Amino acid sequence: MLPRCAISVCHVFVLVLCLSSAEDFDWTKNDHGSFYYGTFPAGFSWGAGGSAYQTEGAWDKDGKGLSIWDVFSHKKGRIQQNDTGDSSCEGYHKIKDDVGLMKELKLNHYRFSISWPRLIPTGIKSDHINEKGIQYYNELIDHLLENKITPIVTLYHWDLPQFLQERYGGWQNISMVNHFNEFANLCFERFGNRIKYWMTFNNPWSVAVEGYETGEHAPGLRLRGTGAYKAAHHIIKAHAKVWHTYDTQWRAKQKGLVGISLSGDWGEPVDITNQKDIEAAERYVQFYLGWFATPIFHGDYPQVMKDFIGRKSVQQGLGTSRLPSFSPQEKSYIKGTCDFLGVGHFTTRYITQKNHPSARSSSSYFTDRDLAELVDPRWPDPGSEWLYSVPWGFRRLLNFVKSQYGNPMIYVTENGVSEKMLCTELCDDWRIQYFKDYTNEMLKAIKDGVNVKGYTAWSLLDKFEWDEGYSERFGLYYVDFRNKNKPRYPKASVQFYKRIISSNGFPNQREVENWRRKAVETCSTSNQLLAADPLTSHMEMVTEIVVPTVCTLSILLSAVFLMFLLRRRN
Ligand code: NOJ
């Protein structure tokens, strides 16, 4: 999520801030610390998610083409421990097992993404369609539906076909708009009779900033100050085109919805009485979620982005802004292309005004914002270094979406917390706490009038965590990556999340505390199973390596002995 340079800024500037600064929040009378007992609206959809490259494995199976993540992760030094998604959770071979886990949780929906190069190996539809890839997603979709789990599908969760990157420069090139539209159209044609919730892109902020600005993600380009804006511009156009394709060609028949999943941290002013901090915090959110949401809901980039990037570009002696612009026709084509908004949210930052020099050499998305990010050292941070648990920020972000974009229908597409790899602990009390508090803030937001229809816990399984490899675990289910069968074990949070789902909320304090106690009690049994697992892997090694080796050696020795005997006879 956040690049490391920003994180180190955060650490340097860590402030001990009084949490009470958030108490003036005026969307509700409840202060952010209190827990709200109550239920979600009837029909609220509870789910969990994952994405193709993070879980499927089978990177070169059954005719799949290469994606930019296959190539990126195979380069040494790009990913923690040089991990790759080559086999990951082996989800490609485990449809039934994984749907079984979803049933265990009694999920209403499952969010997954379709790998573009698995369906179209080069990314160009007229080249070749890989029917085996189609077959895999057909099986997954059918199996979900047979088990009454609604599939929610993302078309692009970062795995661009490598060929399109090499041939055209990927999202730097406008031709991606048509290629992506053809891929989406193929998905509507083949799967649209059964899929009613589509999302064009997942977290385009990351694609643009981490893929084309900082280079921490595939394709690893560092086009500072321009790359991210250009990529985002093409992504927004591609999103709009796909929405129109669905609207004109498929909607009447298939009756589905097309949205986009945007990520956004919440930004809270350090000093809520300081106008400069208030504006800086607003800028932080506008440069994050607003960058994509404002064109899609209102037809153009946030005014503050146009102003800041435009002014800096002039100071840098550039003839035009580094932020591209939309023509009037494009604006009206893009505006309103969202049937529902997917919101991915994990964490919050305190924000203060900070001027950055405008020198051309140091221009970047980050310096364009003229702000500094801070964290409260008392915020829990059990896993990823960027992920502090700040539940009240979630409610604020949801209310921001409501007020800025005309109260759209929202599906929370990602929310969750990680733990470090070294910690093989199934008793994930901190995840229980995170889910409990974040879903409770979502409930408060719904009471505020925010139109949230569903929630997706991130993620169903531990999985490949991009540049962090397998070092961060977000799963409700623990995956033993050391074992080639990739067995899954439930963490305590499975039991807890299951209770939230079956009660559709939080009935009363006594019960919720009981859930938690029981969840933590049962996980110790699973912990023992996991502890026994090295034995299983060891036995596997014995059967797969030691036994064949011993047999071969015995045969060889017998042959040598026989020859020796024969010679002696002669
Ligand atoms: C957002 C990304 O969409 C998802 O793939 C990732 O697992 C989470 N961030 C956690 O880093």
Contact in structure between 182 and 190 (CB atoms under 8 Å): no
Ligand 1 centroid to Cα of residue 475, in Å, is 11
Q: So what's the pLDDT on residue 521?
A: 87
Model confidence over 215-244: pLDDT tens digits? 999 999 999 999 999 999 999 999 999 999
Contact in structure between 392 and 240 (CB atoms under 8 Å): no
DSSP-based three-state secondary structure for 262 = strand
Cis peptide bond prior to 490, omega within 30° of 0: no
Q: Which strand ranges, in their side-by-side order, compose the sheet holding 348-353?
A: 266-269, 348-353, 371-374
Q: Measuring from atom 3 of ligand 1, which residue has the nearest CA?
A: 203
DSSP secondary structure letter of residue 461: B
Nearest to 151 by CA among 96, 197, 95, 100: 197
Mutate to test the pocket of ligand 1, among 156, 418, 465 (most ligand atoms within 8 A of CB): 465
Greatest distance between any 2 Cα atoms in the chain: 104
* CA 465 to ligand 1: nearest atom: 7
* CA 418 to ligand 1: nearest atom: 10
> Where are any strands of DSSP class E within 436-504?
452-458, 472-473, 477-479, 488-490
Cα distance between residue 110 and residue 101, in whole Å: 11
Q: Measuring from atom 11 of ligand 1, which residue has the nearest CA?
A: 1
Single-letter amino acid code for the residue at 154: T
Mutate to test the pocket of ligand 1, among 458, 464, 467, 472 (most ligand atoms within 8 A of CB): 458
Q: Measuring from atom 9 of ligand 1, which residue has the nearest CA?
A: 1
What percentage of residues in the chain have a pLDDT greater than 70?
85
Catalytic residues: 414
Q: So what's the pLDDT on residue 19?
A: 32
The phi, psi pair for 261, rounded to 5°, reads -105, 115
The helix-helix angle for 176-191 and 131-146 (nearest 10°) equals 50
Ligand 1 centroid to Cα of residue 126, in Å, is 31
Within the chain, which residues score under 70 in pLDDT?
A: 1-33, 420-424, 525-570
Model confidence over 389-401: pLDDT tens digits? 999 999 999 999 9
Ligand 1 centroid to Cα of residue 20, in Å, is 30
Cα distance between residue 363 and residue 531, in whole Å: 50
Ligand 1 binding residues, C-beta < 6 A: 1, 51, 54, 202-203, 263, 344, 414, 465, 474
The helix-helix angle for 303-315 and 275-285 (nearest 10°) equals 100
The phi, psi pair for 348, rounded to 5°, reads -135, 155
